[in-house]
């Protein structure tokens, strides 16, 4: 596999020029200058390129092994690479200083997350889940739980997992059957947890001293459905009052999954309470476990979208290196008619530019969402925080769903650029495709992300948050249209915004029908998410075009800006039209789905 190089130049472009360091203008980050942030990104780039990335192929080939005692061995080098990450303080980069973290903006933590997943997606999943556990515990844990468990998580000495899925409870978590029985008050304030959870990412390993499992379960007297589910923290090793580790808790890895990709990530079936019962502690309020878990899930969904961007970036680098090196055929007579690298063939260039333009657009949108997270958490004005949070709520399903769908397609194009060499494992292109394919599935399938956007998020404010974003899209389109050399880009972006507004109105109108509204949203949700993702990503590339053109007109000779203009042209003239076609799908309605007899297929 081609060595990985962190895209530091594009990170600087997004943070400095597109976002104009909006996060640094918040009071919480007034002591963090752009020089510090750049130094952080450069050091993260070194860690991921030199320590994590060389292990990516080995992790894929070696995989994980479950020993007879239920313990897990991870690929050689993974434990040391994780330790280097933890020792560097990276696990707490976006955690507030009051909780023991570095207190840097979410937008920077998100950029670091991209580098982790680009360099080694399987290993990157471990700290990604820990970040979600920190969020859940910080927001909903009691002072006692936070004082005992939070610091080791922030430091990376312990890791966290998310335990939702059961054999009969996947997307429908109301079916959770794992039990939490209150103990005798004379024993202490804890529960005995029993049951089995499946598909638990990094459910067991030896890279850290302890693992904290956040588990959804229900008390014996709890009502059926979502309101009966509570959230518990179940440590692998019990923790003594002085913070030292005690005896092993009654939780064990019963098996590991043999997956299509991310072989270096141990995906476990965990059995709780096979003996006396696993000791667990209630997090937050009884019966509100699903609400509390969504704190962790939203964090994870945003980072899964960034994970998709990371794998797409790695696929871009892999494909470009191969296309520049592989000699095959001749270029056109107009260009000399000589033997050439395949990067000279225009169809290969089309694929390379498609990969690059989309990856850059997805990165910009994901970091825009992260910047809105910073505003939602730290802005002085309550109204400003509320508006930003509404934008985050709309953007997260788009970042998660659209970015991961696109990442699979980008990784697939990477295989195509390699030709036959892409279909074998030798080059590493196939691994990226296999790894990326899980991202549209976990942390809520992309169909669920689409339903969240087209159903819950639109209905809760009548589309106001998305409409506000579209105001900015239209403002960018107007700015492009007033520039002679960019006017055609403005026309394309304006048309996309018009299509999305019309589609939003259509989905909202159909959703309000008391009889057919639910079916309409289900049928139209995925094309609506696709249209939204295309338009918002095109918006980012429209902004990029304005910045790049201004620099070139000011005399810059930096090829980065010329390439950015080419990417913007591709995104707005070649990619956006594919997304705009989703309006036709939405206008066509869902009658063919409603009348279908699935058994006849």
**Alpha carbon distance 507, 204 (integer Å):** 43
Supply the DSSP string of 58-123, one letter for each residue: HHHHH--EE-TTS-EEPPTTHHHHHHHHHHTTGGGTTS-GGGTS----HHHHHHHHHHHHHHHHHH
Q: What are phi and psi of 278, to 5 degrees?
A: -75, 135
The values of phi and psi at residue 79, to 5°, are -65, -45
Pick the range with the lowest mean pLDDT from 200-214, 245-259, 366-380, 509-523: 509-523
For residue 580, CA distances in Å to 397, 493, 497, 505, 586 come to 19, 10, 9, 15, 10
> Which residues are the active-site residues?
443
User: Encoding tokens for residue 473?
Assistant: 């899209």
pLDDT of residue 591: 85
**DSSP annotation string for 283-329:** ESSTT-HHHHHHHHHHHHHHHHHHHHHHHHHHHHHHHHHHHHH-EEE
Phi/psi at 257 (nearest 5 deg)? -85, 145
User: pLDDT value at position 187?
Assistant: 82
Whether the predicted pLDDT of 172 surpasses 90: no
Nearest Cα to Cα of residue 67 among 195, 256, 209 = 256
Instruction: For the beta carbon of residue 250, count every other beta carbon within 10 angstroms.
Output: 20
Q: What is the pLDDT of residues 89-123, one digit of tens each?
A: 999 999 999 999 999 999 999 999 999 999 999 99
pLDDT of residue 221: 92
- Cα of 325 vs its chain's centroid, Å: 32
For β-strands 327-330 and 339-341, DSSP reports them as antiparallel
Residue 331: count of CB within 10 angstroms of its CB:
16
Give the pLDDT of residue 31.
87
pLDDT band at 299 (very low <50, low <70, confident <90, very high): confident
Residue 155, number of CB atoms within 10 A of its CB: 17
What one-character-per-residue DSSP string does 237-251 give? EEE-TTS-EEEEPSE
Q: Quote the pTM value.
A: 0.96
Instruction: Describe the crossing of helices 106-140 and 429-436 by its angle, rounded to 10 degrees.
Output: 40
Residue 263, SS3 per DSSP: coil
Query: In sequence order, which residues have a C-beta less than 8 Å from that of residue 104 and are 6 or more positions away?
Result: 29, 32, 37, 40, 93, 94
148-161 residue pLDDT tens: 999 999 999 999 99
Could you report the per-residue pLDDT of 13-58, keeping only the tens digit for each?
999 999 999 999 999 998 888 999 999 999 999 999 999 999 999 9
**What is the distance between the terminal CA atoms of the chain, rounded to a whole angstrom?**
41
According to CATH, the topology of domain 159-288 is: Butyryl-CoA Dehydrogenase, subunit A; domain 2 (2.40.110)
How high is the pLDDT of residue 332? 82
Residue 143: pLDDT over 80: yes
For the chain, the structural domain boundaries read 159-288, 446-593
pLDDT-derived band at 514, boundaries 50, 70, 90: confident
Q: 314: Cβ–Cβ under 8 A, 6 or more apart, which residues?
A: 4, 118, 119, 432
Residue range 232-284, pLDDT digits in tens: 999 999 999 999 999 999 999 999 999 999 999 999 999 999 998 999 999 99
Q: How far apart are CA 401 and CA 468, in angstroms?
A: 21
Residue 397 has pLDDT above 90, yes or no: yes
């Amino acid at each position: 596999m081609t060595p990985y190089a962190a895209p530091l130049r594009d990170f600087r472009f997004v943070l400095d020029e597109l976002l104009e360091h909006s996060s640094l203008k918040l009071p919480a980050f007034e002591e963090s200058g752009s020089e510090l942030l750049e130094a952080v990104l450069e050091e993260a780039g070194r860690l991921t390129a030199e320590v994590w990335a060389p292990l990516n192929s080995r992790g894929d080939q070696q995989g994980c092994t479950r020993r007879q005692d239920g313990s897990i061995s991870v690929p050689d080098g993974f434990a040391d690479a994780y330790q280097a990450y933890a020792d560097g303080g990276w696990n707490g980069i976006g955690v507030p200083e009051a909780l023991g973290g570095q207190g840097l903006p979410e937008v920077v933590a998100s950029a670091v997350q991209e580098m982790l997943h680009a360099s080694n997606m399987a290993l990157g999943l471990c700290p990604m889940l820990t970040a979600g556990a920190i969020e859940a515990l910080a927001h909903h844990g009691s002072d006692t739980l936070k004082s005992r468990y939070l610091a080791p998580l922030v430091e990376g000495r312990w890791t966290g997992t998310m335990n939702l899925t059961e054999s009969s409870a996947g997307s429908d978590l109301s079916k959770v059957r794992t039990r939490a029985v209150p103990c005798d008050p004379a024993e202490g304030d804890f529960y005995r947890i029993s049951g089995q959870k499946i598909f638990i990412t990094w459910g067991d390993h030896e890279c850290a001293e302890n693992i904290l499992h956040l588990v959804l379960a229900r008390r014996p007297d709890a009502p059926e459905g979502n309101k009966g589910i509570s959230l518990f923290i179940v440590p692998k090793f019990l923790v003594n009052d002085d913070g030292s580790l005690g005896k092993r808790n009654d939780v064990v890895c019963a098996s590991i999954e043999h997956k299509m990709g991310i072989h270096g990530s141990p995906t476990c079936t965990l059995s709780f309470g096979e003996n006396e019962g696993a000791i667990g502690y209630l997090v937050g309020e009884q019966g509100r476990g699903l609400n509390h878990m969504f704190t962790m899930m939203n964090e994870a969904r945003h980072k899964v979208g960034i994970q998709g961007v990371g794998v797409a970036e790695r696929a871009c680098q892999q494909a470009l290196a191969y296309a520049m090196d592989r000699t095959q055929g001749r270029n056109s007579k107009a260009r000399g008619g000589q033997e050439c690298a395949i990067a000279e063939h225009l169809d290969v260039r089309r694929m390379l530019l498609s990969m690059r333009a989309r990856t850059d657009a997805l990165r910009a949108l994901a970091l825009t969402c992260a910047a809105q997270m910073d505003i939602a958490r730290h802005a002085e004005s309550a109204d400003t925080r509320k508006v930003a949070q509404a934008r985050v709520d709309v953007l997260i399903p788009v970042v998660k769903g659209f970015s991961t769908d696109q990442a699979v397609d980008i990784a697939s194009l990477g295989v195509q650029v390699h030709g036959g060499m892409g279909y074998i494992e030798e080059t590493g292109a196939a691994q990226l495709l296999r790894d990326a394919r899980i991202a549209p599935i976990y942390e809520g399938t992309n169909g669920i992300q689409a339903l969240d956007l087209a159903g819950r998020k639109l209905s809760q404010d009548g589309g106001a948050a998305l409409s506000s974003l579209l105001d900015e899209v239209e403002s960018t389109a107007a700015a492009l249209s007033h520039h002679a050399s960019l006017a055609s880009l403005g026309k394309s972006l304006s048309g996309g915004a018009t299509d999305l507004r019309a589609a939003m109105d259509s989905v909202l109108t159909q959703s309000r029908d008391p009889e057919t509204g639910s079916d309409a949203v289900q049928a139209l949700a995925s094309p609506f998410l696709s249209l939204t993702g295309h338009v918002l990503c095109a918006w980012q590339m429209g902004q990029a075009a304005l910045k790049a053109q201004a620099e070139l007109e000011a005399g810059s000779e930096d090829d980065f800006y010329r390439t950015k203009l080419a990417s913007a042209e591709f995104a707005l003239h070649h990619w956006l039209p594919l997304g705009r076609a989703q309006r036709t799908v939405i206008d066509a309605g869902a009658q063919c789905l409603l009348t279908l007899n699935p058994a006849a297929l």
